[in-house]
Amino acid sequence: MYLTREEERILDGERGEAVDKAMELLVKLGDAYGAKHMVEVSSCHLVSCVYNVVYDSGLEIAEVFLKLGARFVVPTTLCTASIPLEDTEKFRFPDEWVEKQSKLCELYRAMGGLDNWTCIPYWNTNVPRYGEHIAWGESNCVSYANSIVGARTNRYASYIELCAAITGRIPMIDLHIPENRRGTILVKLKGLDASKMTAKDYGALGYAIGCVSAGGIPVIDGIPHTVSKKMLRVMGAAAASSGSVALYHVLGVTPEARSLEEALGGDKPEDRVEIGLEELRKAYLELSTAGDGVVDLVFIGCPHYSIDQIGVVVDMFRGRRVHPNVELWLATDNLTYTLACRMGYREVLERAGVKFMVGSCAMNAPTYTRGFNVMATDSAKTAHYAPMQARTDVFYGSLEECIEAAVEGRIPI
C-alpha cells in the first residue's frame, strides 16, 4: 500500500508512539483488503467507548493509548454509553458495570471525544457532508451517513474507528470506493402506499429490506420524494439490524439515486425482489414475540429521540401517568436532554413517571440484570435485539401503542 511521506513519518514514530501504533493497525487492515492508499477522514464516531461492546479488554486498550499520548485529530463523537449519564442510580444497574463504563467515559473524554454520547451524532454534533470520507461505527449512524447524506464510511468495528480518530486516516477500501457503492438489489414496493405509512410501518419495511438484502446494497423503488429524513432513519436503522445494510439507495430521494441508472452504476441488479403487505405482516410477527399480556418495561428512543419527538411524548402524557408496575425509559443524548430540561419537558415527563436514559440505550445497558419479562418498544431495531440483549419478550408497536402500554401496564389490544 502506498503511503505518503507524512504517513511514513508516523510509522517511523516521529508523531508519537500512540499515532505510530494506530497507523500500524490501519496499514495491516489496508494490506489485508488490498488497499492502494489511505484517505484522510473529516470525522469519526466511536463504539470503542461502549463498555458492553469492548468490556475489560477495551478498558485496557483505551488506557494504553492514553498513556502513549493519544489525542483525536479530527472531530470525534462517542456512541451511547452502557449506563445513563444522569440519575444513574435510578436504573439500579450493577455497581461494577457502572464503574467500568464511567472509567471508559473518562478515558475517551481525555483523548478528546465530544461528550454527547449518542447514536444520532448526525443530528446535532457531527454532521458530515456529501462525499466526505469519515470513519464511523454503529449501524444506524453508518446507514444514515452513507445513504441519506452521501458521505463515505464502512461499518467500522471497535478500535478501527479509534485508530482513525488518532491518525485522521483510514484505508481506501469498500464503501470509500465509488464503484463499490452501486446498488446490487432492486427492491420494489408492491401494493403499498408509502405516503400513508407510519414510523411503525417504516420500521417493519426496513426490517424486511434487511432480510432480503443478504449483504448487498438495496435500491428501493416506491418511496415518495416527500419522505422525511426521520422516516428514512427509522427504516435504515431496522435494515442495518436485520441485514447489516450499511448503504441503501431510494430512487429519487437519496443523493446517489437520482435515477435507476445512477443507483445501479449502469449495471443490471444482481437480484430483484418485491415487498408488499405480506412481507410487512411477516416482519411485524417476527418483531413481536409477545402477543398480549402484561408489560413491565417500555423503551423508546432508539435511535435517540430528538427534541421534537420528546415534545410529542410530553403531549401524550399530560394528565396521565406510567403504571406503577411499569418502567418507561426514554433515551436521548446529553444536548437534547439539556434542551428538554430548559423547555420544561423533563419536569412534565418525570412527574408522569418517565425515566430519561441520558447518553445511553437499553440495548447497550445491562438491562438483562433487572429481570424484566416483556418490553414494549417503538423501535424495530430494539425489537430485533431485545430477546438477546435484554433477555425479554418484546412487543413492537407505534409510539401511541407504547405509551398506552406504559399507562395501562398491558399490551394494547
Q: What is the pLDDT of residues 303-324, one digit of tens each?
A: 999 999 999 999 999 999 999 9
C-alpha angle 166/244/184, rounded to 5°? Answer: 110
Q: Please say whether the beta carbons of 369 and 389 come within 8 A.
A: no
The pLDDT of 333-343, averaged and rounded, is 97
> Does pLDDT of 151 surpass 90?
yes
Amino acid at 287: L
Question: Tell me: the pLDDT tens digits for 101-112?
Answer: 999 999 999 999
Give the pLDDT of residue 291.
Answer: 79
Q: Which domains does the chain have, with CATH numbers?
A: 5-178 (3.30.499), 182-286 (3.40.1060), 288-408 (3.30.499.10)
> Does pLDDT of 215 surpass 90?
no
Count other C-beta atoms under 10 Å from residue 366's C-beta: 20
The C-alpha atoms of residue 81 and residue 28 are separated, in whole angstroms, by: 29
Specify the residue for cell string 486516516.
169
Coil, strand or helix at 24: helix
Give the pLDDT of residue 413.
Answer: 81
Average per-residue pLDDT for the chain: 97
Give the pLDDT of residue 233.
Answer: 97
The pLDDT of 140-159, averaged and rounded, is 97
Q: What is the pTM of this model?
A: 0.96
Tell which residue, 149, 162, 60, 49, has the closest CA to residue 106.
49
Give the pLDDT of residue 214.
Answer: 81
Give the pLDDT of residue 118.
Answer: 97
Handedness of CA 77, 83, 88, 90 (dihedral sign): positive
> Does pLDDT of 292 surpass 90?
no
pLDDT grade for 138, boundaries at 50, 70 and 90: very high
The C-alpha atoms of residue 392 and residue 380 are separated, in whole angstroms, by: 15
> Does pLDDT of 289 surpass 90?
yes
